[in-house]
Amino acid sequence: MSKVYIITGTSSGFGRALAEAVLDRGDRVVVTARKPEAVADLVEKYPETALAVRLDVTNASDRQAVVDAALEKFGHIDVLVNNAGRGSLGAAEEFTLEQLRDQMEVNFFGAVEMTRAALPAMRAQCSGRILNLTSIGGQIGYQAFAVYCASKFAFEGYSECLREELKPLGIHVTIVEPGAFRTDFAGDSNMRPVIEIEDYKPVIEPMRQYLYGNAGQQPGDPHRAALAMIQAVESDDPPLRLILGADAYGLLEQKRAAEQKELAAWREIGEDTAFDGAEVRPVGG
Indicate if 148 belongs to the active site.
yes
SS3 assignment, position 239: coil
Burial degree of 151 (CB within 10 A; 0-12, 13-18, 19+): buried
* Catalytic residue (choose from 5, 46, 148, 210): 148
155-159 contacts at long range (C-beta below 8 A, 24 or more positions apart): 155/107, 155/108, 155/111, 155/112, 158/108, 158/112, 159/132, 159/134
Count Cβ atoms below 10 Å from residue 95 Cβ, excluding itself: 22
Type of residue numbered 175: I
Please state the φ and ψ torsions of residue 79, each to the nearest 5 degrees.
-140, 130
Cα 223 from Cα 89, distance rounded (Å): 25
Half-sphere exposure of 253 (CA within 13 A, CB side): 6
Please, are residues 55 and 84 in contact by the beta-carbon 8 Å criterion? Answer: yes
Catalytic residue numbers read 148
